[in-house]
């Protein structure tokens, strides 16, 4: 079978290599999943570069999440699971950019076989990240304002949809003016364009109101403009650094606004949360994928043989959607 792996850390379009490997056999308590679709996430590209919080032993298979069908089961696993479509928990313990993967039974979460395959493939990382960002740090009353950078990202889109469902309002920062209308149609309450006057735009959009929570995957100066509009005691959560710059918040806002700055990494949540709670949370989100509440654009799908083209496409900031491997 074909496996996309790396022998060294480095440039994402250079170091992954496609190799042939023996198909896996399930050990006790394991299932083998024949992959159907798996996305390329920014965290995957950071991991390949060696810049991520997790550094696997090399050589290492690649890919964090995906969806497929159970084709064989090990001892102790109910054979009724054969043929089941499952999403793979993004535990970073296995690669999903390969034709088949052996994983623990608990890491194979059943999903609706009639739901959109590509949307299900993206369930593991971004929808759960958005949900946890909204609900794990602050108890937000109905109608609270949530500000976010990276509004057009997959997480940003999921935040808008989940906030709307929870009765919260969102203010999203985008890079391109033409993206504003798209997010407003999606359900965003306010959209502003990053630039020299960002602070003024945010103030105008909020009027006399304040943000209760700010979510930031970008870092840099834009997050400081959002933090300046947080309510006293408000919370800023950093979950990415796509700009490569530090999170910049004015000392006066931190001191006089008594702001709280937190970090979020989904792996920490997976490591400490009971398995039954993880399964229940994913089941809830999977139902929202199935009914179309949670949906993000797809830019393109590729076979593993075209991995260089796929990864290059995934690094294009103007791609207009997610890039996935499909089988």
Catalytic residues, which ones?
Answer: 52
Angstrom distance (rounded) from CA 130 to CA 147: 13
**Cis omega before residue 59 (within 30°)?**
yes
Sequence-distant (≥ 6) Cβ neighbours of residue 199 within 8 angstroms:
225, 228, 229
Half-sphere exposure at residue 293, Cβ-oriented, CA atoms within 13 angstroms: 15
CA distance 13 to 69: 29
DSSP, collapsed to helix, strand or coil, labels residue 1 as: coil
For residue 64, give the nearest of 25, 45, 85, 90 by alpha carbon: 90
Instruction: Give, in order, the Cα–Cα distances in Å from 287 to each of 112, 143, 160, 309.
Output: 8, 24, 17, 33
Cα–Cα dist 243/184, whole Å: 24
φ, ψ of residue 28 to 5 degrees: the values are -60, 135
Cβ–Cβ < 8 Å for 205, 192: yes
CA pair distance 215, 150, nearest whole angstrom: 9
């Amino acid at each position: 079978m074909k496996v996309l792996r790396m022998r060294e850390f480095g440039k994402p379009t250079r170091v992954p290599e496609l190799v042939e490997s023996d198909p896996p056999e399930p050990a006790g308590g394991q299932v083998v999943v024949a992959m159907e679709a798996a996305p390329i996430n920014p965290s995957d590209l950071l991991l390949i570069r060696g810049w991520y919080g997790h550094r696997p032993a090399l050589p290492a298979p690649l890919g964090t999440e995906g969806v497929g069908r159970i084709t064989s089961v090990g001892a102790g696993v109910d054979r009724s699971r054969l043929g089941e479509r499952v999403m793979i928990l993004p535990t970073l313990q296995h690669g999903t950019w390969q034709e088949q993967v052996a994983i623990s039974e608990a890491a194979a979460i059943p999903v609706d076989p009639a739901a959109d395959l590509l949307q299900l493939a993206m369930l593991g990382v971004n929808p759960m990240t958005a949900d946890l960002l909204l609900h794990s740090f602050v108890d937000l009353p109905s109608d609270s304002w949530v500000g976010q950078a990276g509004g057009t990202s997959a997480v940003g889109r999921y935040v808008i949809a989940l906030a709307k469902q929870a009765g919260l309002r969102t203010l999203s920062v985008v890079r391109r003016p033409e993206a504003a209308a798209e997010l407003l149609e999606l359900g965003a309450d306010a959209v502003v364009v990053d630039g020299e006057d960002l602070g003024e735009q945010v103030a105008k959009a909020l009027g006399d109101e304040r943000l209760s929570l700010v979510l930031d995957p970008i870092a840099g100066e834009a997050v400081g403009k959002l933090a300046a509009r947080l309510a006293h005691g408000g919370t800023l959560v950093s979950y990415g650094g796509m700009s490569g710059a530090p999170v910049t918040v004015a000392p006066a806002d931190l001191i006089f606004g008594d702001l709280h700055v937190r970090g979020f990494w989904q792996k920490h949540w997976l490591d400490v949360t009971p398995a039954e709670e993880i399964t229940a949370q994913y089941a809830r989100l999977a139902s929202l994928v199935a009914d179309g509440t949670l949906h993000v654009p797809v830019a393109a799908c590729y076979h593993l043989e075209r991995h260089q083209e796929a990864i290059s496409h995934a690094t294009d900031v103007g791609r207009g959607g997610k890039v996935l491997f499909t089988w």
